[in-house]
Amino acid sequence: MRHFLLVEGTNEKWDGVKLGMRSIPIATACTIYHKFFCETNLDAYDPYLIAMSSIYLAGKVEEQHLRTRDIINVSNRYFNPSGEPLELDSRFWELRDSIVQCELLMLRVLRFQVSFQHPHKYLLHYLVSLKNWLNRHSWQRTPVAVTAWALLRDSYHGGLCLRFQAQHIAVAVLYLALQVYGVEVPAEVEAEKPWWQVFSDDLTKPIIDNIVSDLIQIYTMDTEIP
């Protein structure tokens, strides 16, 4: 089940990038998607249609409006990579209608709560604060920011966004990025409070570990998908 969800999540990310969507709208789309399938039965709906509709809806929510024609084109391309773009015939317009209908359905299922707090803003602020504390040469040669951002984006392939708080995800992602490169936060040992605790008061080490391990899990699933 979750495996399947992941496929769709991947699909969405793929589509999102090709549509030129920014990180936040993609995140919203994925969150909507995951949330929808939490509330409903997985078999009841065509996941691809839901994916397209959630992209469309997210575009509206995050002020990066996308045209349905583009969404349909890109999705179609995903399935028929070598085929020609769809003809603008009646079948096409029916597809479009179904996306619009689906959008309304999703809104109702989600009780019209489609605006989310994403970890992205938090992560960026944390990065700025950390940057000032680290030695600048160390910062420049270590791509902490890029890695953290990539990790955060990839986390949407799974349902992390639903299970953890935005701030926690942001911290965990940053933590992992620092770990990967072996970067130590200066005077960490001597500090009264660890840096990750500073960023989010109610965060504990176990939570970080949970998030990190889930995140790594997502990547392993990625390699299993053909």
Partner 1 sequence: MDRDLLRQSLNCHGSSLLSLLRSEQQDNPHFRSLLGSAAEPTRGPPPQQPLQGRKEKRVDNIEIQKFISKKADLLFALSWKSDAPATSEINEDSEDHYAVMPPLEQFMEIPSMDRRELFFRDIERGDIVIGRISSIREFGFFMVLICLGSGIMRDIAHLEITALCPLRDVPSHSNHGDPLSYYQTGDIIRAGIKDIDRYHEKLAVSLYSSSLPPHLSGIKLGVISSEELPLYYRRSVELNSNSLESYENIMQSSLGFVNPGVVEFLLEKLGIDESNPPSLMRGLQSKNFSEDDFASALRKKQSASWALKCVKIGVDYFKVGRHVDAMNEYNKALEIDKQNVEALVARGALYATKGSLNKAIEDFELALENCPTHRNARKYLCQTLVERGGQLEEEEKFLNAESYYKKALTLDETFKDAEDALQKLHKYMQKSLELREKQAEKEEKQKTKKIETSAEKLRKLLKEEKRLKKKRRKSTSSSSSVSSADESVSSSSSSSSSGHKRHKKHKRNRSESSRSSRRHSSRASSSQIDQNRKDECYPVPANTSASFLNHKQEVEKLLGKQDRLQYEKTQIKEKDRCPLSSSSLEIPDDFGVYSYLFKKLTIKQPQAGPSGGIPEEGIVIIDDSSIHITDPEDLQVGQDMEVEDSGIDDPDHG
One residue of 65, 79, 87, 111 binding partner 1 per CB under 8 A: 87
d(CA 155, CA 163): 12
User: Binding to partner 1 (CB under 8 A): which residues in 189-218?
Assistant: 190-195, 198-201, 209, 212-213, 216
For the CB of residue 15, give the shortest distance to partner 1 in the complex, in Å.
Answer: 9
What CA–CA distance (Å, rounded) separates 45 from 26?
Answer: 21
Cβ pair 172, 213 in contact under 8 A: no
Rounded to a whole number of angstroms, the minimum distance from the CB of residue 82 to partner 1 is 10
| Sole binder of partner 1 in the list 2, 73, 98, 110 (CB under 8 A) | 73
The reply to whether 60 sits near partner 1 by the rule CB under 8 A is: no
- Site residues (CB under 8 A) for partner 1, limited to 146-185: 146-147, 149-151, 153-154, 157, 167, 176, 179-184
Shortest reach from residue 44's CB to partner 1, in Å: 27
**Is residue 14 involved in binding partner 1 (CB under 8 A)?**
yes
Of 81 and 108, nearer to partner 1 (C-beta) is 81
Site string for partner 1, 23-52 (x = CB under 8 A): xx----------------------------
CB of 60 vs partner 1, minimal distance in Å: 15
Q: Considering the rule CB under 8 A, would residue 223 count as an interface residue with partner 1?
A: yes
Measured in degrees and rounded to the nearest 5, phi and psi for residue 209 equal: -60, -40
- CA-CA distance, 152 to 209, in Å (whole number)? 15
What token pair was written down for 225? 């998908």
Output 71 or 99, the one with its CB closest to partner 1: 71
Q: Establish if 61 lies at the interface with partner 1 (CB under 8 A).
A: no
Per-residue string for binding with partner 1, 105-144, x by CB under 8 A? ---------------xxx-xx-xxxxxxx-xx----xxx-
Closer residue to partner 1 (CB): 40 or 165: 165
